[in-house]
Amino acid sequence: MASTDIKPLVTHIFTADPSAHVFSGKLYVYPSHDVSTDIKDNDNGDQYAMNDYHVLSMEEVGGPVTDHGVALALEEIPWAGKQLWAPDAATRDGKYYLFFPARDKEGVFRIGVAVSDVPEGPFKPEPEPIEGSFSIDPASFVDDDGEAYLYFGGIWGGQLQCWTSGEFDKAAYSGMEAQSGNALYPKVAKLSKDMLSFDGVVQDVIIFDKEGQPLAASDHDRRFFEAAWMHKYNGKYYFSYSTGDTHYLCYAVGDNPIGPFTYGGRILEPVQGWTTHHSIVEHKGKWYLFHHDTSLSGKNHLRCVKVTEIFYNKDGEIKVTPS
Ligand code: FUB
């Protein structure tokens, strides 16, 4: 089924970048909340000028969706200047954590965390961003052994290319990304037991092709751009992401949460609109791909979240139709 044929989850607000999780048997979706703006589309992503987050929930896919209202607002976050982009959530020891990127007051993207006693929030932000965090699109993953990880990164407007030296280099922004050598790697860090900080160093998430070579920077059909997600299927770790300017959702498979990962294929062809972003979750015995397109507005920055069932073939490959 084409993405445009799928109904948006909600139509009373614009939503994007859906991170879906099952908490206590119920499906929760943590999206971006897109807003109208006069800012013209540009490669920096200035038109994505979001100011708050809403949490959505449903008992099952296809059932009524509840919007729990504002879960966190920009003005409540002491360090944030603008642009609340794609968030994610996790739970540990009875608390719920909302991870979110924002530009700080100097215009540098950092990742923050906010805490609640309930999955729908509201969430109380920590006063500072996570120490050592940078760039955008945090995706949390709690493994079966209880260890938690945060994946992140996004190039171009997401500024990942500015961090190759370990320090923020504004000058590196102008090149957007190098076109030779290996592609820029997304990042992963283990989370501390209290989920509020990184436990150890930020590591590269390396994606090899099937010949064992790291994906090349020029390989725009397969290289990582933004929108990291991690899920586990049949004991394998699936790292999925957007290729940005070529508009695919792709995945790579590994034997542990840190990788390395081997490129596995495409999950979704380009949808209507420039960005594509997703999450993958199991609920009531079925696997779902949450994603977005612009079918509700026709505008790149006013998106709507959708969901479709996905399947695995006997080799563990992801398919949008059963095989
Ligand atoms: O929503 C703003 C940005 O657009 C996200 O952070 C990216 O992943 C893209 O979907």
pLDDT tier at 27, thresholds 50, 70, 90: very high
pLDDT at res. 101? 98
Give the strand pairing for 207-208 and 261-268.
parallel
73-88: average pLDDT = 98
Does the pLDDT at position 4 exceed 90? no
The predicted structure's pLDDT at residue 90: 98
Taking residue 161's Cβ as centre, other Cβ atoms within 10 Å add up to 21
pLDDT in tens, 220-259: 999 999 999 999 999 999 999 999 999 999 999 999 999 9
pTM for this model (two decimals): 0.98
Model pLDDT, residue 2: 81
pLDDT recorded at residue 136: 98
The predicted model gives 20-26 an average pLDDT of 98
Residue at token pair 């590994």: 254
- Measuring CA to CA, which residue among 256, 257, 249 is closest to residue 226? 249
Q: Is 226 in the pocket of ligand 1 (CB under 6 A)?
A: yes
Q: How many domains does the chain have?
A: 1
Q: Which residue has the higher pLDDT, 166 or 179?
A: 166
- What CATH number is associated with residue 152? 2.115.10.20
232 to each of 147, 235, 257, 279, 290, how far by Cα in Å? Answer: 13, 6, 9, 12, 16
What per-residue confidence (pLDDT) applies to 270?
A: 98
Distance between CA atoms of residues 56 and 43, nearest Å: 29
Give the C-alpha distances (Å, rounded to integers) separating 316 from 238, 251, 265, 319. 10, 11, 11, 9
Active-site residue numbers? 17, 226
The pLDDT value recorded for residue 3 is 84
Q: Is 261 in the pocket of ligand 1 (CB under 6 A)?
A: no
Q: Residue 126 sits in which domain range?
A: 3-319
pLDDT in tens, 104-151: 999 999 999 999 999 999 999 999 999 999 999 999 999 999 999 999
**Residue 229 neighbours by CB distance under 10 Å:** 27
Q: How many residues does the chain have?
A: 323
Residue 27 near residue 6 (C-beta atoms within 8 A): no
In angstroms, rounded to a whole number, what is the distance separating the alpha carbons of residues 171 and 159?
Answer: 11
Is 19's C-beta closer than 6 angstroms to any atom of ligand 1? no
48 lines ligand 1 (CB under 6 A): yes
Token pair belonging to 31:
């999206």
Q: How confident is the model at residue 262 (pLDDT cuts 50, 70, 90)?
A: very high
Bridge partner list, 100:
112
> Stretch 139-164: mean pLDDT, rounded?
97
- Residue 81's pLDDT is 98
173-206, pLDDT tens digit by residue?
887 888 889 999 999 999 999 999 999 999 999 9
Q: Is 140 in the pocket of ligand 1 (CB under 6 A)?
A: no
Please report, as a single letter, which amino acid is at residue 228: A
In this predicted structure, the answer to whether residue 208 has a pLDDT above a threshold of 90 is: yes
- Rounded to whole angstroms, how far apart are CA atoms 104 and 227? 20
**Ligand 1 geometric centre to CA of 101 (Å):** 10
The Å distance, Cα 62 to ligand 1 centre, comes to: 25
3-state secondary structure (DSSP) of residue 246 = helix
Q: At residue 168, does pLDDT exceed 80? A: yes
Which residue has tokens 């979001």?
Answer: 50
Per-residue confidence band for 323, with pLDDT thresholds at 50, 70 and 90 = confident
For residue 123, CA distances in Å to 34, 140, 217 come to 19, 16, 38
Locate tokens 């879906």: which residue? Answer: 20
Taking residue 306's Cβ as centre, other Cβ atoms within 10 Å add up to 23
Cα of 131 from ligand 1 centre, angstroms: 22
Who wins on pLDDT, 2 or 191?
Answer: 191
Torsion of CA 149, 26, 266, 214, to 10 degrees: 0
* Mean local confidence (pLDDT), 206-220: 97
Q: What value of ipTM does the predicted structure carry?
A: 0.98
Percent of the chain predicted with pLDDT > 90: 94
Kindly report the number of other CB atoms within 10 A of residue 141's CB atom. Answer: 21
Distance 17 CA to ligand 1 centre (A): 6
Per-residue pLDDT at 247: 98
- What is the average pLDDT across 56-77? 98
* Poorest-pLDDT segment among 8-12, 57-61, 170-174: 170-174
Q: Is the peptide bond before 257 cis (omega within 30 degrees of 0)?
A: no
